[in-house]
Amino acid sequence: MHVIKSFHLEAKAILDMVALMNLLVDLNSNTVPDIECMFEKYFKLRSPIGRSSVEVSSRLGGMMNRKGKFNDFVRRLILRHVPRWFSLMVNDRLSYDRPQLEFLPFVEIEGSLKPKEQTRSAYVPMVPQQDPKTNGQTLFP
């Protein structure tokens, strides 16, 4: 029996947090207009994904909870006889948008499915440097 996954709905909240963190790091100042602009960018970036998640969840919940012989047949057909290639295709489509934290080194993706392209942030994190005057103790610039 091959079960359809839950469309990665649990991971979407983490990806939303990553997208928000990337915008927060690039924030110019903590003034109200800059923060409002940042949240407008966040809304434009993540709201289509959130809407589609709610829609898919609603459809899946409706399919699982409807009563009747026809709906029992549809559930049996989908849960038992979905071809593996179709399930993999759906998972690939849902896994395309995988943002990474832009202020950390990117994780190299070794799989066959590459995520959406992402640019590095202009933010440069503090990297410890050794000071020759203090016998190799690390200092932050």
- Is the overall model pTM greater than 0.75, yes or no? no
* Whole-number pLDDT of residue 36: 95
* Whole-number pLDDT of residue 44: 93
Check residue 29 and report its DSSP letter.
Answer: -
Which of 100, 101, 92, 109 lies closest to 7, judged by CA? Answer: 92
* Whole-number pLDDT of residue 117: 74
For the chain (length 141 residues), average pLDDT per consecutive 10? 50 85 88 94 88 79 82 82 80 73 76 70 52 53 44
* Whole-number pLDDT of residue 43: 94
Strand segments, DSSP code E, in 46-140 are 129-130, 138-139
Compute CA 93 distance to the chain's CA centroid, rounded to the nearest angstrom.
Answer: 12
Compute CA 33 distance to the chain's CA centroid, rounded to the nearest angstrom.
Answer: 26
* Whole-number pLDDT of residue 34: 93
- The counts of H helices and E strands in the chain are 4, 2
Angle, helices 69-81/32-65, rounded to nearest 10 degrees = 110
Check residue 124 and report its DSSP letter.
Answer: -
CB atoms within 10 A of CB 50: 13
Report CA-CA distances (Å) from 94 to 39, 50, 115: 24, 12, 10
Domains of the chain, by residue range, sit at 7-98
CA dist., res. 100 & res. 107, Å (int): 8
